[in-house]
Chains A and B, each alone.
Chain A
Amino acid sequence: MTTSTVEPTEQPRRLVAAANGDRDLTSLVFLVLLWGCLAFGIFSLAVLLFNTAMEGAGRLDAQLFTNYTSQLRPESAGARAAIFGSLLVMLTTAALSIPLGVAAASYLEEFASRENKFAQLVELNVQNLAAVPAIIYGMLAAGFAVLIGLPRNTVLAGAIALALLILPVIIVSTREALRAVPREIRQGSLALGASPMQTLLRQTLPAAIPGIATGTILALSRAVGEAAPLLLLGGLVFVRFDPNGLLSGFTTMPIQIFDWAGRPQVAFQELAAAASIVLLGLLLAMNALAIIIRNKFSSQR
């Protein structure tokens, strides 16, 4: 080594300086500001949760799950129809949006070339749709339902609206998951004489399942919490029966909460708070499931 002689004293000194030197006043203020923002967010959420819990705790009983709603007796009314409605709408939404979303994502990611005009159009639309307000999807589904002669306030129409709402999210997260599958897996499969479709179905999609499942569950949990598009469809606010099929009238948890919260009696306010706790619990459970799936599969790698 004759070409360069490095001054040995220069670098260690710089290292020592870096240890405290970057914490000047400006960065300290900024750090405090960041912590403040975080604290404010968490504090607001905690107050909200605490308030809801205190208000609704009294009505968080078995009747909430077993009884139908009531105009006259809020003290014994329940959210049974809304719970069943939410579950049925969620399942129908999943059945509509998952196959469509995964297929669209697979096409865009695995088959369409970048020059393909149709694929570019679809891609542009997916990006735009993700930013459309939820209520617009309600209008779209209402129009669609009228067009095909479907009553608007049915489980199917509601599920169509919610499926459209979460389709962009499912497509984007599925594409991300497919992109994360190493190219070597695809190449290995194709080099053995597998067709691109076999490669997708037998290698790429199975390897992407954790990512797809996580994204889909999070999207569904968003759908479960939506009230706006369903209200626009004429989702019934007062239902005293279980939904019994895709063409049945229905109500869901958010709609039921909306209805109760709008009534003047204190007993209904408590009911709304109790139902909110149930809805929050459901969403929390779904998010937890998404995390569990992700961790389970990533530890297998």
Chain B
Amino acid sequence: MHSGPSPEVAGGAPVAPISTNISVEGSHERAEHLVDSPHAVMTCTDVSVYYGKFRAVNECTMPIARHEITALIGPSGCGKSTILRALNRMNDLIPGTRVTGQVAFHEIDIYGKDVDPIEVRRRIGMVFQKPNPFPKSIYDNIAYGPRVTGMKVASMDDLVEESLRGAALWDEVKDKLKQSAYGLSGGQQQRLCIARTIAVRPEVILMDEPCSALDPIATSRIEDLMVELRKQYTIVIVTHNMQQAARVADRTAFFTAEAAEGSGDRTGHLVEFDKTVKIFGNPADKRTEDYISGRFG
């Protein structure tokens, strides 16, 4: 089983088939059991996202496969975070945002008329770039989600322990559950946020650059955790770190931004979506190859 950053990457020695320093060694092992047309928990069909008149992402179509990690990569401003937020309607909170096309979750369009965005967010959780624990105790951070969503919980204590174990944080915090979450380190806070997310038992967890505020050791722990969580959840991660995508993701979507005809606004779109091994080993699109080999972005 693959876990943690590959030593090749740490040493900086190029081992990948094309001229990048990104290792996909682990991905090769994982790729063997990756089927070509997996069961998709979510499917984006021609999804465009507008902020007012500005089109941030144009017609993105891709599946999110169950029990896999899907990475969204690409240069800044390519719309990968925007697409991620479209997946659980977090975009609703920004005034003037409009989504066209279809985002299906188990065949149901989450932007449909009868769909409650609150229920969507409960089933499709989100972990943010900056750890954002609530100004409450560790225990109350975990218990908050189940409480507000009215989950039937036999024992909140058990659920808290289970969630913290699930996020590999239990041993570090079991003696200080009543203390403020603000006393934890950045990496611990981010794992607390993951524990808080899995406490409401979502099916899909969206992660928006979850390691970009963390040091390498904390990052590698979160990556291990993601690989572990994949057994029970479906994970979509936005990352600026290509090594990270290569290390943990089963499939990778590469986005880029190009100026639309007739205007200076740069609209993001999906260039290539494939198994991670393929994206980093033998990309079909020249732009993907240029990006992952560090020629732009």
Bound complex: CA A190 to CA B133 (Å): 13
Contact A190 B95 (CB under 8 A): no
| Nearest 6 pairs of A and B residues by beta carbon | A193-B122, A184-B132, A192-B145, A191-B126, A194-B148, A188-B132
With known contacts A191-B88, A191-B90, A207–B125 Cβ distance under 8 A: no
Q: Do A192 and B121 form a contact, CB below 8 Å, given A113-B95, A202-B148?
A: yes
Q: In whole angstroms, what is the CA distance A301 to B119 when docked?
A: 32
Interface residues of B in 85-132 (CB under 8 A from A): 88, 90, 93, 95, 118-119, 121-123, 125-126, 128, 130, 132
Q: Determine whether B197 belongs to the interface, using a CB cutoff of 8 Å to chain A.
A: yes
Interface size on A, residues (CB 8 A): 22
B134 interface residue per 8 A CB criterion: yes
Contact with B130, one of A184, A191, A192, A195 (Cβ below 8 angstroms): A184
Chain A contact residues: helix, strand, loop or mixed: helix
A-B contact pairs, 16 of them (CB 8 A): A182-B132, A184-B128, A185-B132, A187-B90, A188-B134, A189-B134, A189-B148, A191-B126, A191-B128, A192-B122, A192-B144, A193-B122, A193-B149, A194-B118, A195-B148, A207-B135
**A175 CB, min distance to chain B CBs, angstroms:** 17
Interface residues on B, range: 20 to 34
Q: Is the CB of A187 within 8 A of B128?
A: yes
Measured CB to CB, the nearest residue on chain B to A116 is B95
Say yes or no: is B170 at the interface (Cβ < 8 Å to chain A): no
Question: With an 8 A cutoff between CB atoms, is A127 at the interface?
Answer: no
| Complex alpha-carbon distance, A184 and B193, angstroms | 12
Instruction: Take A114-B95, A187-B93, A188-B193 as given contacts and tell me if A194 and B132 are in contact as well, using a CB distance cutoff of 8 Å.
Output: no
Residue among A114, A182, A191, A301 having the largest count of chain B Cβ atoms under 10 Å: A191
B149 proximity list for chain A (CB < 8 A) = 192-194
Q: Determine whether B227 belongs to the interface, using a CB cutoff of 8 Å to chain A.
A: no
- Interface residue? A76 (CB, 8 A): no
> A198 to chain B: which residues have CB within 8 Å?
148
Q: Which of A176-204 contact B (CB under 8 A)?
A: 182, 184-195, 198, 202-203
Q: List 9 additional contacts besides A190-B93, A190-B118, A192-B148; criterion CB under 8 Å.
A: A114-B95, A185-B132, A187-B128, A190-B121, A191-B121, A192-B125, A192-B197, A194-B149, A195-B118
What sequence of 0s and 1s flags, for each residue 123-167 of chain B, a beta carbon within 8 Å of any chain A beta carbon? 101101010111100000000110011000000000000000000
Q: With the chains together, A182 CA to B133 CA distance in Å? A: 11
Residues of B within 8 A of A185 (CB): 132, 134-135
**Which residues in B have their C-beta under 8 angstroms from that of A182?**
132
Known interface pairs A188-B193, A191-B197, A193-B121; A301-B148 also in contact (CB < 8 Å): no
Is there an interface contact between B90 and A190, defined as CB atoms closer than 8 Å?
A: yes
A11 CB to closest chain B CB (Å) equals 32
Task: Determine the distance from Cα of A66 to Cα of B88 in the docked complex, in whole angstroms.
Answer: 65
Is residue B226 contacting chain A, with contact meaning CB distance below 8 A? no
Determine the chain A residues whose CB is within 8 A of the CB of B128 once the complex forms: 184, 187-188, 191
Given contacts A187-B128, A191-B90, A192-B200, contact A301 B135 (CB under 8 A): yes
Tell which of A185, A189, A190 has the most Cβ of chain B within 10 Å: A190
Residues on the B chain within 8 Å of A184, using CB? 128, 130, 132
Given the known inter-chain contacts A185-B132, A301-B135, please indicate yes or no for A193 contacting B145, CB distance below 8 A. yes
